[in-house]
Amino acid sequence: MTTSTKPLAGLTVVELGSLIAGPFAARIMAEFGAEVIKIESPDGGDPLRKWRKLYQGTSLWWYVQSRNKQSVTINLKHPAGREIVHKLVAEADILVENFRPGVLEKLGLGWQELSAINPGLVMLRLSGFGQSGPLAQQPGFGAIGESMGGLRYVTGFPDRPPVKTGISIGDSIAALWGVIGTLMALRHKEQNGGKGQVVDVALYEAVFAMMESLLPEFDVFGFVRERTGNIMPGITPSNTHSTSDGKHVAIGANGDAIFKRLMLAIGRDDLARDPQLADNAGRDARRDELYAAIDAWVAAHRETEVLATLAAAEVPASRVYSAADIVADPQYLARQMIETATLPDGKSFRIPGIVPKLSATPGGTEWLGPTLGQHTDQTLRRLGYPADAIDALRDAGTV
């Protein structure tokens, strides 16, 4: 698969982002063929380069988050640096940024200035609270968005304080909404006269949009959804259970027919035939009884026995996967979700595959996250800067 056959081939994206939300959105575009020019500060670049586990001084996360991107170093505080950005924007289709609202405006790189340079520009702006409202100027990370968006309140067990998920889910959700919005804006541009627009994604709103029936249930019934541990509130049975060998298995048997198959599989024919349990409302009213029965059965068997029995009964179930489980799983391998790549020193390592799967024009990994400023000179040459001008920009600390 060559870059030219990917669905976003021909699009140019300028990324003015750091850490998670903005770079993740641009990563998706890069995986599907867009030319992504990531602008970084000459002084260390994106902090993600040094986040989490480092291999020979560079984050392994960086290599994945920035795959297929080009790295150009520009000091945005220098007028000559902002001039370079203007030239890049003039040729771009999309600009992705996740600065605090107002920062780019102070630098002369806001929507008014950039859209004047390129009226067809689509500008994806990701921030904690959006570009307007009383909190717009406040800093906001994923944890804040998850809290304000309602996710943290319902996550955890009822007898303990709220907890976070194991990843920066708020940033990732915002990035996905950002990509969707950007593609919508590009479609509008194609169909309605070529005008660009701003795609404004607030982290808290991105999370809030995923909160199912939380708001209407409160508005109509005054019901405040609380933490319920591993069960799916109001939908029974769906829970995580512990096996005799200390493993954990998630079982989702909330469909009427599936529930009956589960009860028969665990030897509880009486519950399978009970007319009160024929629908979800009846099952949810007796959730404690049902979970006790399932807990007892799972606790008496090893993980492999539990999974084999439930697979034979066509009951949705899964071990709770660790990274070690993932890399050895036949389903992951069959769908190319585990790729092999090579670090700069030649060491082979595994990285996540590409999502989603497109049958005719799939995405792919062309190269890993670049070194800081790896593409600066070639980009400046393309913009018409001669070698002596590039040297002068570097001497001045502009690039």
pLDDT of residue 3: 61
Candidate list 46, 93, 171, 284, residue with the active-site label: 171
pLDDT of residue 152: 97
Mean pLDDT of the 316-328 span: 97
Confidence of residue 232 (pLDDT cuts 50, 70, 90): confident
Residue 340 has pLDDT above 60, yes or no: yes
**SS3 string of 96-142?**
EECCCCCHHHHCCCCHHHHHHHCCCCEEEEEECCCCCCCCCCCCCCH
pLDDT of residue 169: 97
3-state secondary structure of 245: coil
Buried b (16+ CB within 10 A) or exposed e, 25-37: bbbbbbbbbbbbb
Dump pLDDT digits (tens) for 259-313.
Answer: 999 999 999 999 999 999 999 999 999 999 999 999 999 999 999 999 999 999 9
d(CA 202, CA 198): 13
Dump pLDDT digits (tens) for 114-150.
Answer: 999 999 999 999 999 999 999 999 999 999 999 999 9
d(CA 281, CA 67): 47
Half-sphere exposure of 377 (CA within 13 A, CB side): 7
pLDDT of residue 309: 98
Residue 1 has pLDDT above 90, yes or no: no
Distant-in-sequence, close-in-space partners of 390: CB < 8 Å, separation ≥ 6: 377, 380, 381, 399
Mean pLDDT of the 95-116 span: 97
Dump pLDDT digits (tens) for 45-73.
Answer: 999 999 999 999 999 999 999 999 999 99
For residue 320, give the nearest of 242, 235, 254 by alpha carbon: 242
Confidence of residue 2 (pLDDT cuts 50, 70, 90): low
Q: Which two tokens stand for residue 252?
A: 């989702």
Say which DSSP state 151 is in.
Answer: T
DSSP string, 157-203: -TTS-----SS-HHHHHHHHHHHHHHHHHHHHHHHTTS---EEEEEH
Distant-in-sequence, close-in-space partners of 342: CB < 8 Å, separation ≥ 6: 348, 349
Between 193 and 133, where is the model more confident? 133
pLDDT of residue 163: 95
Mean pLDDT of the 362-378 span: 98
DSSP string, 362-377: -----SPPPPTTTTHH
Mean pLDDT of the 216-232 span: 96
pLDDT of residue 194: 87
Contact at 8 Å (CB) between 173 and 210? yes
Q: What is the pTM of this model?
A: 0.94
For residue 27, give the nearest of 48, 41, 53 by alpha carbon: 48
pLDDT of residue 388: 97
Looking at this protein, which amino acid is placed at residue 363? G
pLDDT of residue 391: 97
Q: What contacts 24+ positions apart, CB below 8 Å, involve 338-344? A: 339/365, 341/63, 341/365, 341/368, 343/55, 343/56, 343/63, 343/368, 344/56, 344/371
CATH 3.40.50.1980 fits 3-209+336-395, yes or no: no
Residue owning tokens 């641009």 = 26
- Overall CATH class of domain 238-319: alpha beta
Q: What is the location of CATH 3.40.50.10540 in the chain?
A: 3-209+336-395
Phi and psi at 114, nearest 5°, equal -75, -35
Dump pLDDT digits (tens) for 149-168.
Answer: 999 999 999 999 999 999 99
Residue 233 has pLDDT above 90, yes or no: no
pLDDT of residue 175: 98
Q: What is the CA radius of gyration of the chain?
A: 25
Mean pLDDT of the chain: 97
Q: What is the location of CATH 3.30.1540.10 in the chain?
A: 238-319
Dump pLDDT digits (tens) for 13-53.
Answer: 999 989 999 999 999 999 999 999 999 999 999 999 999 99
Catalytic annotation present for 200: no
d(CA 81, CA 98): 19
Instruction: Please give the biggest Cα pair distance in the chain.
Output: 85
